[in-house]
Amino acid sequence: MAAAATTARTRAVAWVDTGAIERNCALLRARLGDAQLCAVVKADGYGHGALVSAQAALAGGAAWLAVATANEAEELREEGIDARLLVMGALTSSELETALAADADVVAWTEAFVELARSIARESGQEARLHVKLDTGMGRLGTKDPVAALDLLSRINGADFVAATGFMTHFATADEPDGAFLDAQLGRFAPAAAEARGRVPGLVVHAANSAAALREPAAHFDMARCGIAIYGLSPFQRDPAEARLDPALALESYVAAVKHVAPGDSVGYGRSWFAEQDTQVAVVPIGYGDGYRRGLSNSGDVLIGGRRYPIVGTISMDNLTVDVGEPGRVQVGDPVTLIGGEGKERVLAEDVAAKLGTINYEVTTGLTARVPRVLRASK
């Protein structure tokens, strides 16, 4: 969880800019027109801190918040969040009890789950609000049969202790250049959504993730569930500036030591790098124990004093090493930026993800609890 604080020289810190999250939400909200924004703050706000991300998103115009688990909903309620919450994941009986006790909407696609929700709601005296999920091609949760989905919606609408409040799907390829499958999913969902609205007045229809919200207005419906974009990260794994998104997280450490390395000397476990000439190597106290992945060994870059330097040698659990060249360029105590910008240079989460062969989601959510999240709110 992020906490407002200042830091002296901390071995590693993730700065979280709540002002950026608020601005990204305002931007997305404007793009959505009449549709509402649901800010996805699951997985501890994609590594940024769930509570502070939720607060910033609501300040930026989000009307709903979405999480994956019942405990995530419960924690937000305990922290004083009173916005509409949607728990999107599969739930066991005890998890469903937790979600409903947190006054969250939940997702349904089977009669058995609806009956379970109805039973729990009857015992608690509190109505269960359900969003029926149609699987239009994601192949995970939801029913693939639109007739079954609509019949389930009607049964919920006619029963006591449960209410049909949403109708939804999820896109599998909205972040990919070829829009054919996105179009196909929309083609399956739109007629069912229209029928659902006719059966249940006031139903909230939602389908779009960040990518679909940015690229396809037809996917907006009544609400869009935006996750990665609210944190200023590109759902398309490109420069976020292309979509006018502002990255909210910067990862920093510092130079703990600088040492001379002679030609032929190695650095790090396994001797995966040898100096070709006299050089200086800076030791930075951050590693895969902090979520800065070992796969960046001999491939990643960091910024020191506004200059880009290569990571050399194998990244260890607690340290990495950087070739900084000739003496005098870098001093012990100098700040090191692993994600973020210094002057005209930037290392984006998307750059880190590309080197790892993964996506920016994994880069930020992979930062461990050993790295404190420290708030700063830019204007």
Q: What is the mean pLDDT of the chain?
A: 96
Distance CA 370, CA 155 (A): 48
Same domain, 222 and 314: no
Same domain, 177 and 42: yes
| Structural domain that includes position 36 | 18-234
Backbone phi, psi, residue 326, to 5°: -70, 155
E-strand stretches of 124-230: 128-133, 162-168, 204-206, 223-226
Q: Is 11 part of any domain? A: no
Looking at the predicted structure, is the pLDDT value of residue 19 above 60? yes
Look up the CATH number of the domain holding residue 45.
Answer: 3.20.20.10
Same domain, 144 and 41: yes
Sequence letter at residue 296: L
Distance CA 144, CA 219 (A): 19
Per-residue confidence band for 1, with pLDDT thresholds at 50, 70 and 90: very low
Q: Which residues on neighbouring strands pair with residue 224, listed in sequence order? A: 37
Task: Give me the number of domains the chain comprises.
Answer: 2
Looking at the predicted structure, is the pLDDT value of residue 3 above 70? no
Residue environment code for 247-264, b if the CB has 16+ CB neighbours within 10 A, otherwise e: bbbbbbbbbbebeebeee
Give the model's pLDDT for residue 185.
98
Mean pLDDT of 265-283: 98
Q: Is 368 part of any domain? A: no
Same domain, 63 and 175: yes
Q: Is 365 part of any domain? A: no
Separation of first and last alpha carbons in the chain = 22
Q: Is 363 part of any domain? A: no
Give the model's pLDDT for residue 199.
96
Same domain, 54 and 93: yes
Same domain, 192 and 287: no
The dihedral through the CA atoms of 251, 379, 223, 131 has a sign that is positive
Q: Is 281 exposed, middle or buried (0-12, 13-18, 19+ CB in 10 A)?
A: buried
Same domain, 88 and 211: yes
Per-residue confidence band for 359, with pLDDT thresholds at 50, 70 and 90: very high
Give the model's pLDDT for residue 7.
41
Give the model's pLDDT for residue 327.
94
Q: Is 35 part of any domain? A: yes
Does residue 136 contact residue 147 with C-beta atoms inside 8 Å? no
pLDDT in tens, 87-129: 999 999 999 999 999 999 999 999 999 999 999 999 999 899 9
Give the model's pLDDT for residue 10.
84
Same domain, 28 and 158: yes
Per-residue confidence band for 9, with pLDDT thresholds at 50, 70 and 90: low
Q: Is 59 part of any domain? A: yes
Same domain, 200 and 286: no
Look up the CATH number of the domain holding residue 304.
Answer: 2.40.37.10
Which residues are the active-site residues?
A: 42, 269
Same domain, 102 and 186: yes
For 32, other C-beta atoms within 10 Å of its C-beta total 20
Residue 129's nearest CA partner among 158, 108, 150 is: 108
Mean pLDDT of 22-29: 98
Mean pLDDT of 147-166: 97
Looking at the predicted structure, is the pLDDT value of residue 4 above 70? no
Looking at the predicted structure, is the pLDDT value of residue 8 above 50? no
Give the model's pLDDT for residue 339.
98
Same domain, 203 and 289: no
Q: Is 356 part of any domain? A: no
pLDDT in tens, 187-228: 999 999 999 999 999 999 999 999 999 999 999 999 999 999
What percentage of the chain exceeds 70 in pLDDT?
Answer: 98
Q: Is 358 part of any domain? A: no
Residue 12's nearest CA partner among 262, 353, 338 is: 338
E-strand stretches of the chain: 13-17, 36-40, 64-67, 84-87, 105-108, 128-133, 162-168, 204-206, 223-226, 249-254, 257-261, 279-284, 301-304, 307-312, 320-325, 335-342, 345-347, 373-376
DSSP 3-state assignment of 109?
A: coil
Q: What is the pTM assigned to this prediction?
A: 0.95
Same domain, 53 and 128: yes
Mean pLDDT of 23-38: 98
